[in-house]
Chains A and B, each alone.
Chain A
Amino acid sequence: MIDIISNIKGRIGEFLTTYTRSLPNCHYADIRLEINDTRWASAEDGKPKAAGRDEGGSFGIRVIGGGAKKAPGYYGRIFGLKDIDKLKELIKEGLNHAHARALANSKNKERLSVALEGFGKTLWDTQLSSVEIHRDTVPAIYQIAPGTISPQEILRLSEEASKRIKGLSGIQFNDITVYTQSIGELFISTEGALIDQYFAYTQGNVYVVASGKEGQQELYEYVGDQRGWEAVSEGVNVQGMNLLDFSMRVAKDALALADAKPFRSTEKEAVVVTDPYFNTLLSHEVIGHPTEADRILKYETAYAGRSWFFRNFNENFIGKQVASPLITTYSDPSLPGYGHYRYDHEGTKGKRVIHIDRGILKEFMNSRQTAALLGAEPNGSYKATDASLVPLIRMSTTVFAQGNTDPRKIIGDVSDGYYLWGMHTPSISESRENFTISAIKTYRIHRGELKELYRGGGVSADSMSFFMSVDAVGNDFKIYPIANCGKGQPMQTKRLGNGGPTLRGRARVVGGG
């Protein structure tokens, strides 16, 4: 079904070029169009709950127009497959709205550039940094196409996983939700870009509440990949487990934690060793987000926050040491997983962006507009979660680079400290200068060995002091999926990749209140 895109791309491209010529003061326009087909099911406590198939499309339009101070205007719409035949009319209506908004925006900008006196000087004439124009088709990666799997087949797997968990003593509640999805995306611009890309995603969510000696414990984890049905049926994912094995592992962990004592916060900093699964959330929150150029340029002040890396063009950490020389971090859409793509949502080819090079802050993820503002080369990081929504600067796959130390030695060299495994919940300060991230499991390390298991432990630290304290980086690099990163207004919940190897540093380890 998503192949419809290959049939309509030529027509839409011609229409965009022709119609925008008739719009006065329209300097640039692009269309992002998407068609998706999602099949899903859920089971709860061994009982079937729901199943379904959703299919539809959406498109989003950007126009940059106006007079002396060009400005953007946008429009987004969700459509049904029946609308395919009248897509040109819908797009025309959208172009008219986006164009009217761009012109009204430009007019206000011009007026206030004068009326606001000093404040008017930064109201700029909107520019997009130039990029190579591509015409390309990128196929999806899968062995078992999502479109071949029925909702009832998904339900059978969900139900079986849920039944198996229910059979474990001490499990109070469980919920399994599974989906498999095909997406086709089209990007067309008045500069001549015409790119269609195809994606497959499959994911299983596992939620368990267990009861044990120390009370109740809830656990939510997911397994998935940018793959077909094989991601959950055959275990073709970073966890290396199919859904049945993965959900059983989550349930057994919940039971073990329900028997574990709650962690009590340390008064002072301690040695902490964090595993790749925990560092997935750490790299996401404290490396990825503060290196997004829209945060750097303050666009997110009212929402997701700014970045401690960059106060302004005179006061910032670019070229300065922000981490131990053992730490290198980067974002790279060519890596496999949820963050993989060839082109972003304004047709820029994605490339590796080095954020921290052996402790020194280097580059940010950007879009064509933010690249123009920062005087940087566009690196293909402008993405929307649905074509009807305006793209934002987003992580592709943001990671800590691999080190060269065996993780067993990293733990073995610790006299007294803590080992934190698995990502649980983050709470990050506004500019990402401080973080608290809880782990699924916290172990005490004594004389180089893992000892007691605790629940409810986490790391709390100022970002820079923690990164400066890192004295060992493992050779066990892994990329995990992040399924639900929220950003933007309205909120866009995105899938992407994060990860890294085992790290050792110093921080407060915090428990329950």
Chain B
Amino acid sequence: MIPIEILKKIVSDGLDFIKAQKDISDAEIFASSLSHLLSRVNYTSSIPCNGVEEPKSTLSYGVGVQAVFKEGNKKRMGFGSQIGDISIDGIKSAVEKARLSAVEDPDFYGLPVPSANSGDTLLNSELSKVSPELQRLMDISDEQLVDLGWKALEGALMTFKEHKLTESIIVGGDISIVQERMAIASTTGIAAWDEAANASASLTAMIESDNAKGSGWDIGMRLSDFAPENAGKSAAMSAIHSRQGRRVPSGKYRLILGPQAIADLLCHVVLPSLTLSVVDAASSTFLKKYGQRIADKRLTIFDHGAMPDLPMSRRYTCEGLATGRTDLIKEGVLTGYLSNDYYRNKVLKDPSSKDKIGAEPAAIERAFAPRNGFRPGESMIRNFMGRPSIAPTNVIVEGSEITPLDDLMKMIGEGIYIGRIWYTYPINGLLAGDFTCTVIGDSYIIEDGRMAAPLKPNSIRIADNIHNLLNQVIGITGDRKPALLWGASEVIYSPEIAVQDVSLYCIGE
């Protein structure tokens, strides 16, 4: 990893170079250093295996330059990046690529300008001091990485052993350490830097002969209290509890959706539809819905990239703007969008936006606050090789009226607790809102207001419409838990939500 002081210096020096270029009216220089370390677990009790299959890492660093080129009265915007060269030569190379590929985009209204509370002194070394905990995550050794994988596996296997289960066991998943550093500076006054790291464990355990599957997660920002063995234990215990699962017939059911199920639905259907670029492309399922009730009035969903101690919190976006809270759905009403500076400006100035949003954009400018301008790439959000797009950070789901889980199950009476779903897709396109997925574990049949038996994994498919689901809420619990999703960078914190009249189909008989 490149030290943060070097990243800060190059974006600062790079600005001096830019200012000497006669054909450039404005520019933004972004530099980042990224590392993703991962210890992938694969254990099978009946097939020879490695236990820890892949202790590995990927490392990259470089610069990305967005520049506005003057050409008579025209302005052309270009982007170029340079891998592996944190020097003025690297900046020059990126600028040259930007120059050669610049386009006259009529929807580009300028580079971001600092928000009220953004802006650092780039070379202020006092601010550069990192906490000892962050430093430990940044300095993790090869041996520590490997050990974390084995700890997670040991946690799961010892739990099975304690329950005298030794046959047909599968344990899979990974321990993941993400390390990011970035600095950004622009001719419009942006000057910011940030560094962050987090550790996560995501484990799946199975007793395959019993068709029993369980999951366990842990995520944190401190190596000292990161315990992947607990994720292994949770996954094993959940698998143990889900043995001898039963089938249910096709029909309409009352469901309690657990945090992972809520997170999967948000990640694949709801959050994309609340992303301003998707609304601008007229493909959101919430077109023309601003200010309208799109969900049960007890339901609130917000993104918060600055919440202390949450793993996806960052001080600044990749546009150098302050992160913060964006209310997406407040008490059931659509109140905001995930946005970056480019789409905020485009929507505010494009006459066709009113029809897509369902309100006059200028009157609701706060709904487009650019707090999510990140550069996603390979499990991280600081990729110097791309221009800022839009990505969620920490997404929080909460209810205004809290119903304890036991009471919720009593209200349900007969139904199903859905703990983990898979392959959720808007099957007829995002616009339509139709989705389908299968239930793969951590799920239980509710009878007489209590969890009566496990649901057999891979035995039902959910097929419904997201609008039905959001508006058929029975109740919401109070305890938010984080869910990590395969292939997604955001972390979603959700309670359980009970919904009625959801269509389930029996499969795989």
Which positions in A face B, CB cutoff 8 Å? 41, 44, 47-54, 56-57, 71-80, 82-83, 97, 100-102, 104-105, 108-109, 112, 116-119, 122-124, 126, 150-152, 155, 172-173, 175, 207, 209, 216-219, 262, 297-303, 305, 308, 311-313, 373, 388-390, 424-431, 433-434, 436, 438, 455-456, 458, 460, 462, 486, 489-491, 510-513
Known: A104-B55, A491-B487. A52 touches B79 (CB 8 A): yes
CB atoms of A209 and B431 under 8 A apart: yes
A491 to B45, CA, bound (A): 26
Q: Which chain A residue has the least Cβ–Cβ distance from B505?
A: A460
Q: Which chain B residue has the least Cβ–Cβ distance from A458?
A: B427
CB atoms of A80 and B85 under 8 A apart: yes
Q: Inside 8 A of A175's CB, which chain B residues have their CB?
A: 281
Q: Inside 8 A of B507's CB, which chain A residues have their CB?
A: 429, 433-434, 462
Measured CB to CB, the closest approach of chain A to B362, in angstroms, equals 21
For chain B, residues 179 to 209, give those with C-beta under 8 angstroms from any C-beta of chain A.
Answer: 202-204, 206, 208
Which positions in B face A, CB cutoff 8 Å? 36, 38, 40-60, 62, 78-85, 89-90, 97, 100-107, 142-143, 145-147, 150, 153-154, 157-158, 160-161, 166, 168-170, 172-174, 176, 202-204, 206, 208, 281-283, 287, 378-379, 385, 387, 422-438, 440, 457-458, 461, 463-465, 468, 486-487, 503, 505, 507-509
In-complex Cβ contact of A123 among B36, B49, B430, B457 (8 A): B49
A10 to B54, CA, bound (A): 28
CB atoms of A430 and B438 under 8 A apart: yes
In-complex Cβ contact of B169 among A119, A172, A262 (8 A): A119
CB atoms of A105 and B55 under 8 A apart: yes
CB atoms of A430 and B47 under 8 A apart: no
Measured CB to CB, the closest approach of chain B to A366, in angstroms, equals 14
In-complex Cβ contact of B79 among A50, A73, A76, A209 (8 A): A50
In-complex Cβ contact of A373 among B48, B204, B429 (8 A): B48
A50 to B81, CA, bound (A): 14
CB atoms of A312 and B46 under 8 A apart: yes
Measured CB to CB, the closest approach of chain B to A40, in angstroms, equals 9
A48 to B464, CA, bound (A): 38
CB atoms of B105 and A50 under 8 A apart: yes
Q: Which chain B residue has the least Cβ–Cβ distance from A52?
A: B101
Q: Inside 8 A of B170's CB, which chain A residues have their CB?
A: 298, 301
In-complex Cβ contact of A122 among B44, B97, B427 (8 A): B44
Q: Inside 8 A of A512's CB, which chain B residues have their CB?
A: 428, 432, 434, 465
7 other contacts beyond A426-B423, A462-B508, with CB at 8 A cut-off?
A: A101-B56, A101-B145, A216-B287, A297-B44, A298-B172, A429-B507, A511-B428
CB atoms of B282 and A172 under 8 A apart: yes
A222 to B430, CA, bound (A): 18
Measured CB to CB, the closest approach of chain B to A29, in angstroms, equals 14
A173 to B378, CA, bound (A): 29
A419 to B153, CA, bound (A): 48
A513 to B104, CA, bound (A): 42
A433 to B457, CA, bound (A): 12
Q: Inside 8 A of A76's CB, which chain B residues have their CB?
A: 56-59
CB atoms of A456 and B434 under 8 A apart: yes
Q: Inside 8 A of A434's CB, which chain B residues have their CB?
A: 438, 458, 461, 507-508
CB atoms of B46 and A302 under 8 A apart: no
> 6 closest Cβ contacts across the A-B interface?
A80-B84, A74-B56, A302-B172, A124-B48, A513-B465, A78-B60
CB atoms of A430 and B57 under 8 A apart: no
A239 to B62, CA, bound (A): 39
A428 to B282, CA, bound (A): 27
9 contacts between A and B (CB under 8 A): A47-B107, A50-B101, A119-B43, A209-B431, A302-B203, A313-B46, A427-B437, A458-B427, A486-B487
CB atoms of B40 and A489 under 8 A apart: yes
A102 to B461, CA, bound (A): 41
Known: A47-B105, A438-B428. A298 touches B55 (CB 8 A): no
A209 to B285, CA, bound (A): 12
Q: Inside 8 A of B102's CB, which chain A residues have their CB?
A: 51
A390 to B58, CA, bound (A): 10
CB atoms of A74 and B54 under 8 A apart: yes
Q: Which chain B residue has the least Cβ–Cβ distance from A434?
A: B507
A428 to B436, CA, bound (A): 9
CB atoms of B425 and A427 under 8 A apart: yes
Measured CB to CB, the closest approach of chain A to B78, in angstroms, equals 8
CB atoms of B464 and A513 under 8 A apart: yes
A175 to B436, CA, bound (A): 26
A151 to B78, CA, bound (A): 11
In-complex Cβ contact of B47 among A216, A312, A436 (8 A): A312
Measured CB to CB, the closest approach of chain B to A50, in angstroms, equals 6
CB atoms of B166 and A124 under 8 A apart: no
A297 to B43, CA, bound (A): 10
CB atoms of A105 and B52 under 8 A apart: yes
Known: A123-B50, A373-B48. A425 touches B84 (CB 8 A): no
CB atoms of A119 and B161 under 8 A apart: yes
Measured CB to CB, the closest approach of chain B to A119, in angstroms, equals 5
CB atoms of B463 and A116 under 8 A apart: no
Measured CB to CB, the closest approach of chain B to A130, in angstroms, equals 17
CB atoms of A119 and B166 under 8 A apart: yes
A51 to B423, CA, bound (A): 33
CB atoms of A389 and B58 under 8 A apart: yes
Measured CB to CB, the closest approach of chain A to B429, in angstroms, equals 5
Measured CB to CB, the closest approach of chain A to B35, in angstroms, equals 10
CB atoms of B84 and A83 under 8 A apart: yes
CB atoms of A101 and B84 under 8 A apart: no
In-complex Cβ contact of B55 among A101, A152, A302, A513 (8 A): A101
CB atoms of A77 and B58 under 8 A apart: yes
Measured CB to CB, the closest approach of chain B to A205, in angstroms, equals 13
Q: Inside 8 A of B153's CB, which chain A residues have their CB?
A: 112
Most buried by B among A57, A217, A299, A300: A299
Q: Inside 8 A of A389's CB, which chain B residues have their CB?
A: 58
Q: Which chain B residue has the least Cβ–Cβ distance from A111?
A: B150
Most buried by A among B78, B423, B433: B423
A476 to B47, CA, bound (A): 41
Most buried by A among B38, B56, B143: B56
CB atoms of A101 and B146 under 8 A apart: yes
Measured CB to CB, the closest approach of chain A to B488, in angstroms, equals 9
Q: Inside 8 A of B79's CB, which chain A residues have their CB?
A: 50, 52
CB atoms of A490 and B49 under 8 A apart: no
Known: A305-B422, A429-B507. A112 touches B432 (CB 8 A): no
A73 to B40, CA, bound (A): 11
Measured CB to CB, the closest approach of chain A to B485, in angstroms, equals 11
A150 to B434, CA, bound (A): 41
Q: Inside 8 A of B503's CB, which chain A residues have their CB?
A: 513
Measured CB to CB, the closest approach of chain B to A15, in angstroms, equals 19
CB atoms of B174 and A217 under 8 A apart: no
CB atoms of B45 and A216 under 8 A apart: no
CB atoms of A104 and B142 under 8 A apart: yes
CB atoms of A436 and B427 under 8 A apart: yes
CB atoms of A52 and B80 under 8 A apart: yes
Known: A218-B429, A462-B509. A73 touches B84 (CB 8 A): no
A305 to B378, CA, bound (A): 20
Measured CB to CB, the closest approach of chain A to B268, in angstroms, equals 10
Measured CB to CB, the closest approach of chain A to B318, in angstroms, equals 16
CB atoms of A436 and B46 under 8 A apart: no
CB atoms of A122 and B428 under 8 A apart: no
A160 to B206, CA, bound (A): 53
Known: A124-B49, A302-B173, A303-B172. A118 touches B166 (CB 8 A): yes
Known: A78-B84, A298-B44, A301-B170. A429 touches B423 (CB 8 A): yes
A90 to B64, CA, bound (A): 22
A80 to B78, CA, bound (A): 20
CB atoms of A425 and B426 under 8 A apart: yes
Known: A126-B50, A373-B47. A56 touches B83 (CB 8 A): yes
CB atoms of A122 and B48 under 8 A apart: yes
A85 to B281, CA, bound (A): 45
Measured CB to CB, the closest approach of chain B to A55, in angstroms, equals 8
Q: Inside 8 A of A78's CB, which chain B residues have their CB?
A: 58-60, 83-84
CB atoms of A150 and B100 under 8 A apart: yes
